[in-house]
A and B are shown apart, each in its own frame.
Chain A
Amino acid sequence: MVPLNNKSNPTAAFLIVGIILLLTGMCWGIIGAFQYVIPGLFKSQLSFERIRPLHVSSVVFWIIITAVGCTLYYAQEHTGKKIYSVKLLKWQWALFVLSVLFILITYILGIFGGREYWEFHPILALPILISWILCLFNFFKTTGTIKKQPVYVWMWFTGFVFFLITYIESYAWLIPYFRNNVVNDLTIQWKSYGSMVGSWNMLIYGCGIYLMDKMSGTTTYSFSKIGFAIYFLGLFNLMFNWGHHIYTVPTHGYIKHVSYLVSMTELLLIGRIIFLWRRSVKENKKHFHQSGFRFYVAADVWIFLTLLLAIAMSVPAINVYTHGTHITVAHTMGATIGINTFLLLAVVFDQLNPVIRKIKNYNRYLLPGFWISNVSLIIFWVSLIVAGILKAWWQVHHPEIPFSSMMQSLRPYFILFMITGVTLTAGMWMMLLPVLKQYFVQRIRVKKRMGILYNRRRASLHTS
């Protein structure tokens, strides 16, 4: 591992755009939560069908662009080589950022044409695809072979390749053969989405393992048998467990059985977490004072909670109750905020360390922000689970009660998740706004200094 010169870190721009997307995306989420509590809020300007994709796409793009930036940074540190082509990297970044910007603008204007999670017009999927291919090429050229590489390099390879495959597959609906029947369409859609989530998890977990190696100063885990065994288990789940999303869709029975069996292998992961519990608590206490490591510890707790919920939801007989309820939302929030976001923040804090350590009295913002967001997330998560249980009871046992009456009965929990959504966002802003501010202040200073040096040089050339 060769630490990079952070002054010339070309991947920092990915992280900064990611942070901006996270902070704005959470604000869209707050508006959405208010719309649950105050029906008809902004109905004529920004109704829910615009707010939801604005929120979801912003945070999904936060995860993707930051995971890519973090992986490319660590790929350089790991190989001790600079990125293969900075020019290509800049093109990739520009294509991605411009596409995201366009997509968000079309959402605000109410222009759609895609499907859930990729609601934008399919034409906008093209620049993202091109950007990903550029990224893949740059990554392959930088890291070279996967022979005799640690497990995180295998995970990065997997993440990059499978995102490309599943992203293309998620557009199979453009072909009438897949689109003509709702059930066929949903089957292929969730086949691709289920594996796609696994692919970006590979990038993020790979970065997490790399960071642990870096902090501990050993590479024992990343070359170990258990490290690779867990990686292959993850890959197995990425490929075959997507069927749990569509247990209630009248698709092939074998898809459901395969998914049920494969998902149960995740019990091995739960077993391992419990087995290593005491050791990880001891390890966590040792490093907890380090700002980035706090996020790592938080993600550890969320991995356990989310995995428990995921395994329960993977049992078809339980899934009949949880599917289509806010329990699914709770699971998604646990995974995207509790695991993905906290792991990414741990990595971002490592990569932007030269910026962060220059923030004056940063602990004044970081510590309260960290605790506010974590406590809020727990209450947020529980309120969604309770709302989900009540909805599950309604949809299985009392479907004769009108939908609006059921929603009215869930109002106290919606109020709770709205309030904690606001505090969760406030906590994140508290932690990340000083980072953005410091980054831009440093950039302006560097540009000014460059200008002064340039002018001095010109003046000295004139006098000589």
Chain B
Amino acid sequence: MFRESHKALIALLLVTGYAGYSIHIYTDLPQANVEQHIQVEKGKKLWQSYNCIACHQVYGLGGYLGPDLTNTYSLKGPAYIKAFLESGTNVMPDFNMNNEEMEALLAYMEDMDRTGIASPSSFKLHLNGTIEQ
């Protein structure tokens, strides 16, 4: 049996480690934190209010009915995205967005695109199981 003091010590060590790790991540975020342009902020809100993530992915996270949209802005261009937003597809509904909303969403997708490359084919795999981009 574990002694009560040993259990408390292990728990304390783990909790302290978790708190320290969390604080470290909060204070040293992975990417530079610049203030978001008002249009990008609006686009992000629209992205959430239309629940785009239910069908699409960002860096492979999200739903799988539609394609990953992380780098669609640079790969296909804003006109291509706008064509989909204007009338939908046989799967995607037409959300009846006005031009202002579409421009905001495009600004958000452009901002998202700048953060990195999402394609799994861009990764270099190492024999020890780690990856590099």
Contact = CB atoms under 8 A, between A and B. Distances in A.
Interface of chain B, helix or strand or loop or mixed?
loop
Contacts of B57: 324
Interface in A111-140: 112-116, 119
A184 B30 CA distance: 6
Contact of A49 (B44, B52, B90): B52
A248 B59 contact: yes
A320 B25 contact: no
Interface residues of B, number: 64
Contact of B35 (A119, A180, A325): A180
B61 interface: yes
Nearest to B64: A326
Contacts of A187: 25, 29-30
Contacts of A250: 30-31, 59, 115-117, 133
Interface string A89-114: 00000000000000000000000111
Interface in A334-350: none
Contacts of B68: 324
A48 B1 contact: no
Contacts of B101: none
B65 interface: yes
A248 B29 contact: no
Interface in A183-237: 183-184, 186-188, 190-191, 223-225, 228, 232, 235-236
A186 B61 contact: yes
A294 interface: no
Contacts of B79: none
Interface stretch (A79-87, A279-287, A297-305, A391-399): A391-399
A-B pairs, top 6 by smallest CB distance, nearest first, are A324-B60, A250-B116, A49-B54, A239-B18, A403-B67, A251-B30
25 contacts: A35-B65, A48-B63, A49-B52, A53-B54, A113-B49, A176-B35, A181-B32, A181-B36, A181-B115, A182-B58, A182-B111, A183-B116, A184-B29, A188-B26, A232-B10, A235-B11, A248-B59, A248-B123, A249-B61, A249-B116, A252-B28, A316-B131, A317-B125, A323-B120, A395-B121
Interface of B: 1-2, 4, 7, 10-11, 14, 17-18, 21-22, 25-26, 28-36, 44-45, 48-55, 57-68, 90-93, 111-112, 115-121, 123, 125-126, 129-131, 133
